[in-house]
Amino acid sequence: MIAIGNDHTGYELKQAILEYLDSKGLEYKDFGCGKVNSSDYPDYAKAVGRAIQNKECDKGILICGTGIGISIAANKMKGIRAALCHDCFSAEATRLHNDANVLALGARVIGIGHALKIVETFLGTEFSGEERHIKRIQMLED
Ligand code: RB5
């Protein structure tokens, strides 16, 4: 189950991602926001982070204008590893190496087509499970 959240800048990209997830038969929970003029990105980072913390969802996608604010907010939460990725190499590497559980995107930074390829790469890549990466991820929590 994928948790998805966005601020006002990310609504359009979020809708495109939801269509993509629907087309792939992937289940998600939408934590907002809807089409509004202004909103606060930490609210949506926290909602998605909590859904992962309580195991309601196993992965998350967060969108704000740059992807920066919303990833900073998510990364303050225990057990959340949010990766801001604007290329497929990073999206693949962060799953393989960091077992990132949240993908952050900047709706004002990349186009929708590119963002969808990044989502596909992120969701389609398993953690490598290699010992050195497990150790380093554990060090993030210590
Ligand atoms: C909203 O204007 C913008 O600051 C927000 O979407 C995000 O880019 C913050 O990091």
- The structural domains of the chain, with segments of one domain joined by +, span 2-141
Please list the active-site residues.
64, 97
Residue 25 confidence (pLDDT): 98
Q: Is the pLDDT of residue 142 over 90?
A: no
DSSP the chain: -EEEEE-GGGHHHHHHHHHHHHHTT--EEE----S-S---HHHHHHHHHHHHHTTS-SEEEEEESSSHHHHHHHHTSTT--EEE-SSHHHHHHHHHHH---EEEEETTTS-HHHHHHHHHHHHH------HHHHHHHHHHH-
- Nearest CA, atom 6, ligand 1: 65
Q: Domain 2-141 class? A: alpha beta
Per-residue pLDDT tens digits for 34-88: 999 999 999 999 999 999 999 999 999 999 999 999 999 999 999 999 999 999 9
Q: Which residues are annotated as a binding site for D-ribulose 5-phosphate?
A: 7-8, 65-69, 98, 108, 132, 136
pTM: 0.98
